[in-house]
Chains A and B, each alone.
Chain A
């Protein structure tokens, strides 16, 4: 169980996350949705200690992220698929990640195989497409065989086969009794595998509920339309 309690964060006097609280259950895939600038990425960064909340905290079965003995074995993370040294090979990128978490090096080849990058293992990341980087980032998240997967826009750049693979992988992960927390703008895709939704706007919680309940709000509308309706007043950036 992951508990997010009253998270609040301001930058330069602007509150980007405002008293945000929700819980993530084991064995469930929770979609994290909201318009651009809603505070999703900042929330995720606070959940793993990369940003310091002004108020509130996040606990993983009662322990804060900093208190986790081996964070990579608890939480697998993809916050930015571009966050890789372009001159390093995929294998060396993962070797460095495995080493810092004291994970066996044999895991590197396993996760490369799992994400379908065996053939590109020794290529420099600088030559990778966004989809390949995304797969490599997911491989990094899986290195520690974690209890929780936290992914920020993991479908960006993936081809249809990759999206199908991602869906199946996340579903299998949750079926193992583990927790998946995934932010995405691909609402129709999210609707095919998420169990719960956390909807935010302007840094505030709009709703946290099972997906089925969200769909029940208006059976004549798609999930995308329902979410657009829910976040209409919270959209900081909207197309003309």
Chain B
């Protein structure tokens, strides 16, 4: 009772065929573990919680002293969603190393770039989905808190940039996972870098340098303000496209080095 396993004679290029097969496998892997809906749910819960806190407890913007509205708050959680997306991205790879399933994937598809390419595609989907859940949560929390809707005319572009950010953030996390390979070490690296090292560099280096750091660029993309932002910092701020380019370059660099390491090191 064997299904005939015929060799396909399709005219599709072998690389496209292999990549498609690898993407399908990664999609099944992503859909079949509990951590995936947990990450999505977490993004939604954080979105709801932050909007509720701003609407019910804080109520007024500390910079311009205007009451918070749905329009000004629904993207606020995107920063935390971004951090979680990076963490989720690292785990896409490091859990494979931890459970030993990487070896199975590599023996089935020995081409490292194909395997990494498939993971990039699926991780990007994960990051995008987390962004969507976070934003929907933010909107829901804002509406539930009773805030005014406010001016939503610029919301579409804000949503678009936030989704680009969470998508790229997850891919950057995958690159970090490829480099570090150990779940706890990779997550620690991401959090220490995002929460401590970049702040340190911002304090020591000129704004023209610190704007090239990935999480600083992420803040720029979200338009996050800080009480410590100097006139120099604001003047050196990159455009949204520039910030996307910075994060994309970091993601590409970590992926390229990680893929090279995957090729050179024993698995």
State the A residues within 8 Å of B (CB): 45, 48-52, 65-66, 68-73, 75, 77, 79-80, 82-89, 92, 95-97, 99-104, 106-107, 110, 113, 140, 144-145
Contacts and interface: CB of A to CB of B under 8 A. Distances in A.
B7 to A, nearest CB: 7
B240 interface: no
Given A83-B104, A107-B3, A66 B32 contact: no
Contacts of A65: 107, 110
Contacts of A89: 32
B103 interface: yes
B35 interface: yes
B185 to A, nearest CB: 19
Interface in B118-172: none
Contacts of B21: 99-102
A48 B105 CA distance: 12
A110 B2 CA distance: 7
Given A80-B103, A85-B99, A101 B108 contact: yes
A83 B17 contact: no
B183 to A, nearest CB: 13
Nearest to A113: B1
B28 A52 contact: no
Interface of B: 1-3, 5, 7-8, 14, 17-18, 21-22, 24-29, 32-35, 95, 99-101, 103-111, 264, 266-267
Contact of A87 (B2, B18, B25, B34): B34
Given A86-B99, A101-B21, A110-B2, A140 B110 contact: no
Chain A CB count within 10 A is highest, among B5, B109, B110, for B5
A50 B3 contact: no
Nearest to B32: A92
A104 B5 contact: yes
B108 A110 contact: no
A77 B106 CA distance: 12
Contact of B103 (A50, A99, A145): A50
Contacts of A87: 32-35
Nearest to A145: B5
A168 B267 CA distance: 32
Contacts of A72: 107-108
Given A71-B108, A71-B110, A100 B2 contact: no
A97 B108 contact: yes
Nearest to A68: B110
Nearest to A95: B28
A51 B105 contact: no
Nearest to A67: B110
A43 B104 CA distance: 16
A221 to B, nearest CB: 37
A110 B35 CA distance: 29
17 contacts: A49-B107, A52-B264, A66-B111, A79-B103, A84-B100, A85-B33, A85-B95, A88-B29, A89-B32, A97-B25, A99-B27, A99-B28, A100-B108, A102-B8, A102-B18, A110-B1, A145-B2
